[in-house]
Amino acid sequence: MIGAHTARALLDLGHEVVVTTHRRTAVPSFLADRVTVEPLDVTNRDAFLALGDRHAITDIVHLAGSIPQNDPVAYFRTDTTGLLNALDAARTWNVRRFAVASSLGVYIGRPETPWHEDLDLPTTDLPHLIIAYKKAVEPLTTHSLQDTKVQPVILRIGTIWGPLVDPESPFFHIPPYINAALRGETPQPPPRQRRRRRLLRPRRRQSHSPPDNHQNPQPHHLQRFQRPPLHQPGLRRSPPAPHPEPPPRPRPRRPANPPPRHNPPNPRHRLHPHLRHRQGSSRLHNLAHHQPPLARATDAT
């Protein structure tokens, strides 16, 4: 479906389009008599390169893929072989651009919303084989075209809408609901994903023993921050260990022949002359002491 709508968009832009098919040879009605259809198994390298002898191909949009079955290795081998053959054809034909389908699922593990292309791709457990393969497609494509003039284009496709979508696809839950309602059936809930089941598992009982690298499932950089609880039900709490007393300070020794102490001068000697009399024993004594001699003689007579 994505390839059919991509071909129609390229036709609307005025390009000539060659469409490759493997099992189905029929094309949608909006592509009839407008595109050239070539049967091709993308895992066949010789057949892939032979297309360049019949058509002047300037750009490649690689959207071919298979559905995973019980053997994940067989799925990865089939899709990786088709990708490598398409990259080999792009290098041989010296095309301008090579576009390949990735997935929006490569952002799984990022807490930011919405996701955008400036985010670094996280390292996390992926819920599906297709998303795991699409995440590996990006470095394989960019590294394969590094020393060439071919420009790689990564298409991180989010979801698929349109009249050609698979109504029973496990990746889109709304179309199956609508189709079931139109048939008069009761819609079935979507299958629970593996990641969701993991989140619903009961937590293990945490041991109150100190953290151990062999028993604690958490990473080593988090184990050192774990501490046993301060109070455990049913257990007696031991008193805290007493703090050790600091050692006594050594008393300073007095020298055998201490130097003579310097007696500071009497602060009275530094007073102003007019204020010295205030340091005496009484005011009357000071007044009598400072009276002139003539006044003394008059009082005596």
What does the alpha-carbon distance between residue 147 and residue 296 come to, in Å, rounded to a whole number? 126
Q: What is the pLDDT of residues 210-264, one digit of tens each?
A: 444 444 444 444 444 445 555 555 555 666 677 777 788 877 777 667 666 666 5
Which class is 40-158 in CATH? Answer: alpha beta
Q: What is the pLDDT of residues 159-185, one digit of tens each?
A: 776 666 766 666 667 777 887 888 888
What does the alpha-carbon distance between residue 136 and residue 127 come to, in Å, rounded to a whole number? 14
| Burial of 47 per CB tally in 10 Å (0-12, 13-18, 19+) | middle
Both tokens of residue 222? 């988090």
Domain extent listing, the chain: 40-158, 162-190
Taking a C-beta distance cutoff of 8 angstroms, is the pair 155, 101 a contact? Answer: yes
Q: Which residues contact 152 (CB under 8 A, 6 or more apart)?
A: 97, 98, 99, 100, 141, 142, 145
Whole-number pLDDT of residue 190: 64
| Burial of 103 per CB tally in 10 Å (0-12, 13-18, 19+) | buried
For residue 15, which of 6, 28, 27 has the smallest C-alpha distance? Answer: 6
What does the alpha-carbon distance between residue 140 and residue 138 come to, in Å, rounded to a whole number? 5
Q: What's the average model confidence in pLDDT over 20-40?
A: 87
Sign of CA dihedral 169, 175, 181, 187: positive
Report the DSSP beta bridge partners of residue 60: 98
What does the alpha-carbon distance between residue 209 and residue 227 come to, in Å, rounded to a whole number? 9
Residue 27: pLDDT band with limits 50, 70, 90: confident
Q: What is the pLDDT of residues 105-154, one digit of tens each?
A: 888 888 888 888 888 888 888 888 988 999 999 999 999 999 999 999 99
